[in-house]
C-alpha cells in the first residue's frame, strides 16, 4: 500500500480544510455570539477574557470534507457521520445555551447506538493470557440462543466514555487537539497492520489519519493563547476517534494506553465526585490540568505534558503484545492514579493560572 495516499494525503487534506474552515466558522460564531465568557458559572474556567466556542464546527468540516474524498460511502461511514452531525448540533446548542449535562449524556447514548447498530461493535476481545473471547457468541441465562448483547453493550459504553473523557481533557489551550491528533495517528498506524486482511481496517486507518489532520489544523487556533475553544460540539470528533478504535480489530488496549492520562483522570474524577456525594455529571475544577495549574504550571506546559505522555504511551502500545499491554495498563493506572491522588492531597492553593 502507498503510505503517501493512505497516511499523508488524508492528514494534509483534513489539516488544510480545517485551517480554512476555522476563520470562516469564527465569523459566524461571533455573529451568533457563541462565546465563552469568563464570568459564566462554570468552576473549570481558566481564561480571563471572552473566547469564541464552537470549535467542533471547523473540526467536523475538516473531517467531513476529507472523508468524502478518501472514504467509501459504506453503511458504517454514513451512520458515523449522521451520528457525528447530531453530536455537533447538540454540542453547538450547548455552546450557546449551556443545556443540561443529563440531556447531553442521553444524546451520547443515542449517537453511540446509531453507529454500533450500523456495525461498529466489539465482536471479540483478545485474552492477554491466551485465546479470544467472542462477545458476539455469548448466551444469556434467560435466552436459548447466542446474542450480540455484550458486543453492542461494550461498544456503546466505550464510545460514550471516550466522548466524555476527552471532553474533560480540553481544560487548557491546546490540550485536547494534541491528545486527539496523537491518539488518532497511533490508532491509524495500528489499523494499517491489518488493512490487507480487512477493508474495515483500511477505513479505520484513513479516518484515523483524517481525524489527526483535522485536530492538528485546529491546534493552530487553539494553542495558547487560544482564539477559539473546542466547545461541546467537538464530541463529534471524539465519537470518530472512539469508533475507529473499535472498527474490525477492536484495538481497545492500544486506545486505552495512548489516551491513558485522560482516561485515568476521568475515572478518578467520577470516583472522587461520587465519594464526595456529588453528581458525576456536574463540573468542578479538580481535574489533573486544574491541579497542575494550581501547582504553577503554565497552560502551554500542561498541554505539552499531555502530548508527550500520549506520544510515549502510543509508541509503547505499538510495540507491545496483548499481555504486555495489559501489564502496561495496570502500571499506568497505579502510577498515574497514585500521582493524581498525591497531587490532590498536597496541592491546595492556586499560584499561577496564566499561559506564560
pLDDT top residue among 133 and 100: 100
- Into how many domains does the chain fold? 1
pLDDT in tens, 158-168: 999 999 999 99
Q: Which structural domain range is residue 72 located in?
A: 3-251
What is d(CA 160, CA 158) in angstroms, rounded to the nearest whole number? 6
* Residue 233 belongs to a domain: yes
Q: How far is CA 355 from CA 215, 229, 285, 315, 343, in A?
A: 21, 15, 17, 28, 20
Does 268 reside within a domain? no
CA dist., res. 98 & res. 341, Å (int): 30
Whether 44 has a pLDDT exceeding 70, the answer reads no
User: Is position 271 within any domain?
Assistant: no
Burial of residue 284 (number of CB atoms within 10 Å: 0-12, 13-18, 19+): middle
Nearest by Cα to 211 from 232, 183, 230: 183
Q: Is there a domain that residue 317 lies in? A: no
Confidence of residue 241 (pLDDT cuts 50, 70, 90): very high
Q: Is the pLDDT of residue 19 over 60?
A: yes
Cβ within 8 Å of residue 249, ≥6 positions away:
190, 191, 194, 198, 201, 204
State the residue for C-alpha cell 500500500.
1
Q: How many CA atoms lie within 13 A of 130 on its CB side?
A: 0
pLDDT for residue 202: 87
Q: In terms of Cα–Cα distance, which of 63, 51, 50 is closest to 21?
A: 63
> All 3 cell numbers of residue 258?
495512548
Does pLDDT of 196 surpass 70?
A: no
Amino acid at each position: 500500500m502507498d503510505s503517501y495516499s493512505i497516511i499523508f494525503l488524508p492528514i494534509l487534506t483534513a489539516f488544510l480544510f480545517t485551517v480554512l474552515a476555522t476563520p470562516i466558522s469564527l465569523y459566524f460564531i461571533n455573529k451568533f455570539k457563541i462565546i465563552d465568557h469568563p464570568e459564566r458559572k462554570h468552576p473549570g474556567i481558566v481564561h480571563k477574557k471572552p473566547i469564541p466556542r464552537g470549535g467542533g464546527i471547523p473540526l467536523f468540516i475538516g473531517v467531513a470534507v476529507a472523508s468524502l474524498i478518501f472514504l467509501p460511502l459504506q453503511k458504517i461511514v454514513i451512520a458515523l457521520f449522521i451520528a457525528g452531525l447530531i453530536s455537533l448540533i447538540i454540542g453547538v446548542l450547548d455552546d450557546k445555551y449551556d443545556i443540561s449535562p443529563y440531556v447531553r449524556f442521553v444524546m451520547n447514548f443515542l449517537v453511540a447506538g446509531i453507529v454500533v447498530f450500523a456495525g461498529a461493535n466489539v465482536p471479540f476481545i483478545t485474552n492477554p493470557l491466551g485465546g479470544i473471547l467472542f462477545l458476539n457468541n455469548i448466551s444469556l441465562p434467560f435466552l436459548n440462543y447466542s446474542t450480540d448483547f455484550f458486543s453492542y453493550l461494550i461498544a456503546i459504553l466505550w464510545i460514550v466514555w471516550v466522548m466524555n473523557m476527552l471532553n474533560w481533557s480540553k481544560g487548557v489551550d491546546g490540550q485536547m487537539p494534541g491528545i486527539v491528533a496523537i491518539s488518532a495517528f497511533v490508532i491509524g498506524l495500528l489499523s494499517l497492520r491489518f488493512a490487507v486482511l480487512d477493508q474495515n481496517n483500511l477505513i479505520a486507518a484513513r479516518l484515523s489519519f483524517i481525524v489527526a489532520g483535522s485536530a492538528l489544523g485546529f491546534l493552530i487556533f487553539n494553542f495558547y493563547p487560544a482564539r477559539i475553544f473546542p466547545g461541546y460540539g467537538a464530541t463529534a470528533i471524539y465519537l470518530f476517534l472512539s469508533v475507529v478504535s473499535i472498527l474490525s480489530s477492536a484495538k481497545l488496549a492500544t486506545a486505552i494506553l495512548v489516551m491513558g492520562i485522560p482516561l485515568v483522570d476521568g475515572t478518578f474524577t467520577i470516583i472522587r465526585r461520587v465519594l464526595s456525594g456529588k453528581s458525576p455529571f456536574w463540573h468542578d475544577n479538580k481535574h489533573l490540568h486544574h491541579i497542575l495549574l494550581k501547582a504553577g504550571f503554565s497552560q502551554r506546559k500542561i498541554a505539552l505534558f499531555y502530548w508527550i505522555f500520549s506520544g510515549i504511551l502510543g509508541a509503547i502500545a505499538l510495540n507491545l503484545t496483548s499481555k504486555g499491554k495489559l501489564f502496561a495498563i495496570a502500571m499506568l493506572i497505579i502510577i498515574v492514579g497514585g500521582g493524581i491522588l498525591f497531587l490532590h492531597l498536597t496541592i491546595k492553593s492556586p499560584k499561577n493560572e496564566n499561559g506564560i
